[in-house]
Amino acid sequence: MSTKTDPTTAPAAPTPAELGVGMRFSIHPHTDDFVGVILGALADAEAAGLTDGLAIRTDEVSTYVGATTVPAEQRLAAYLAAVVAAASRRSGGGHVVAHVLLSRGCPGEVTCDLGVTGLPGAAAVELEPTGIRAVAHWSLYPLLDGGSDAGDHMTHIEAAIARATARGVASPAHYATKLVGDVAEVLATAVDAWAEVGAVVPHVVTHLTVSVGSPSRATN
Amino acid sequence: MSTKTDPTTAPAAPTPAELGVGMRFSIHPHTDDFVGVILGALADAEAAGLTDGLAIRTDEVSTYVGATTVPAEQRLAAYLAAVVAAASRRSGGGHVVAHVLLSRGCPGEVTCDLGVTGLPGAAAVELEPTGIRAVAHWSLYPLLDGGSDAGDHMTHIEAAIARATARGVASPAHYATKLVGDVAEVLATAVDAWAEVGAVVPHVVTHLTVSVGSPSRATN
């Protein structure tokens, strides 16, 4: 995978599928026509060509999206931003919430037998602004093992929050960090933080509850 | 707090507030009348006396619920089950999704300065069945530090999944465990697992996406 090292001596970087880079998300239009909005938004993102390199499977609770090719983080973020923006448009700017779980380092369903050497970094994702304001609660979980040399979990979390704060979108809340900004910037902040921790911690998960069009805004 | 030890020599068990035992949840009725359903469900749970011992604060994205008195886990689970059941009833059995984050071990907003000695266990929660079928995706995050002696994070997760499977409600999925059963049993499974890990791991979080009344059921 790398042109900088001799492939006969250096192990290839693990693929997104080998690392288990992917997400689960659910999208909740608060309207009687939620089925039409959800199915329409998923179809819009597919029609825009944003499902390339992704394995997508929807079940009763959420949609699983596994990245099969690089750039995995960019593909996941662009697809997610498109689905959220499409759902907002299709509900006429109404209240839509997405819940997202991004995971890397646990490719199987139960165990986490990575069997890879080396954790690849990822370029920061680049998303076009959607023009839609989002407010989100974001949590990041570096899943260390006792006895590892990757430090304390809170050190990684605090560094990620500091980077998000420097982007101008973050403020603290209990059990989460509040992110406010364009849907694209909110998603990019969480995806970048997750990928950055993933370059040093083998198993890292982040959760994000993204709200657009909330009628509560005026009172908070 | 304990009658078994001499209070002059043994440190008191930390209170739920000192441990930071609490949750954030959001509830998503997929109906035009979502504001009425949400506010009504919160009012129903309060009218039933289920907010005793809880500090509750709703913002633009979700509702924070901190437990102030024991039994913390029982209070959180009973309140949550009542809100979900009330939202389902008030939407006429329509599609309602709740997203829940349960946390213990991080009482502040950013840092996790516990300052307590000893991790209290918790009795299994006891909830009346709601009569409402739920399907959920559940994830558990034991947040260990490198260098701790609390083992590997996956060992704790796999043991929790095994216990949930023995209760008859769990099956594996990517990045989550699927739980199916009465709302009360699904919530009790996740809350008990979280509290059990919390008796040995200082900081543990669990996430749960709970769906009731989904029209997708017939096709999955």
What whole-number distance in Å separates Cα of residue A74 and Cα of residue A63?
18
- In sequence order, what are the residues at sequence separation of 6 or more whose Cβ sits closer than 8 angstroms to the Cβ of residue A181? A133, A134, A168, A169, A189
User: Which chain B residues are Cβ-neighbours of A186 within 8 angstroms?
Assistant: none
Is residue B1 a part of any domain in this protein? no
What whole-number distance in Å separates Cα of residue A31 and Cα of residue A36?
10
Contact A96, A213 (CB under 8 A): yes
Contact B212, B88 (CB under 8 A): yes
3-class state of residue A130 by DSSP: coil
Which amino acid, one-letter code, is at A152? D
The dihedrals phi and psi of A140, each to the nearest 5 degrees, come to -125, 130
Is residue A190 a part of any domain in this protein? yes
Chain A interface mutation, best of B174, B206, B214, B216, highest count of A Cβ atoms under 10 Å: B174
What's the complex ipTM?
0.91
Q: Do B101 and A139 touch (CB under 8 A)?
A: yes
Q: Do A31 and B29 touch (CB under 8 A)?
A: no
CA dihedral sign, ordered A205, A136, B212, B142: positive
Is residue A42 a part of any domain in this protein? yes
What whole-number distance in Å separates Cα of residue B179 and Cα of residue B169?
5
Q: Does B173 touch chain A (CB under 8 A)?
A: yes
Q: Which domain holds residue B77?
A: 16-219
Q: What is the mean pLDDT of residues A124-138?
A: 97
Residue A210's nearest CA partner among A140, A133, A141 is A133
Instruction: Supply the DSSP symbol for A50.
Output: T
What whole-number distance in Å separates Cα of residue A51 and Cα of residue A86?
14
Mind telling me how many Å the CA of B55 is from chain A's nearest CA?
12
| pLDDT for position A96 | 98
- In sequence order, what are the residues at sequence separation of 6 or more whose Cβ sits closer than 8 angstroms to the Cβ of residue B40? B86, B87, B90
If one counts the domains in chain B, the total is: 1
Q: What share of chain A is helix, strand, coil (3-state, %, to 5)?
A: 30, 25, 40
Is residue B64 a part of any domain in this protein? yes
Average pLDDT of chain A, as a whole number: 90
What whole-number distance in Å separates Cα of residue B141 and Cα of residue B154?
9
Instruction: Report pLDDT digits (tens) over B65-93.
Output: 999 999 999 999 999 999 999 999 999 99
Which amino acid, one-letter code, is at A163? R
Q: Do A64 and B149 touch (CB under 8 A)?
A: no
Q: Which residues of chain B have pLDDT under 70?
A: 1-11, 110-111, 113-117, 217-220
The CA dihedral of B148, B151, B154, B160, to the nearest 10 degrees, is: -110
Is residue A1 a part of any domain in this protein? no
What whole-number distance in Å separates Cα of residue B187 and Cα of residue B166?
15
Is residue A56 a part of any domain in this protein? yes
Which residue of A145, A149, A161 is in closest CB contact with B144?
A: A145
What whole-number distance in Å separates Cα of residue B202 and Cα of residue B75?
20
Is residue A111 a part of any domain in this protein? no
Residue A90's nearest CA partner among A47, A124, A127 is A47
| pLDDT for position B218 | 46
What whole-number distance in Å separates Cα of residue A45 and Cα of residue A78?
9
| pLDDT for position B8 | 54
Instruction: Report pLDDT digits (tens) over A39-95.
Output: 999 999 999 999 999 999 999 999 999 999 999 999 999 999 999 999 999 999 999
Domain of B95, CATH number, reads 3.30.70.930
Helices B34-47, B72-90: crossing angle, 10 deg rounding: 140
Is residue B10 a part of any domain in this protein? no
Q: Do A59 and B153 touch (CB under 8 A)?
A: no
3-class state of residue A4 by DSSP: coil
- In sequence order, what are the residues at sequence separation of 6 or more whose Cβ sits closer than 8 angstroms to the Cβ of residue A213? A88, A91, A93, A94, A95, A96
Q: Do A60 and B173 touch (CB under 8 A)?
A: no
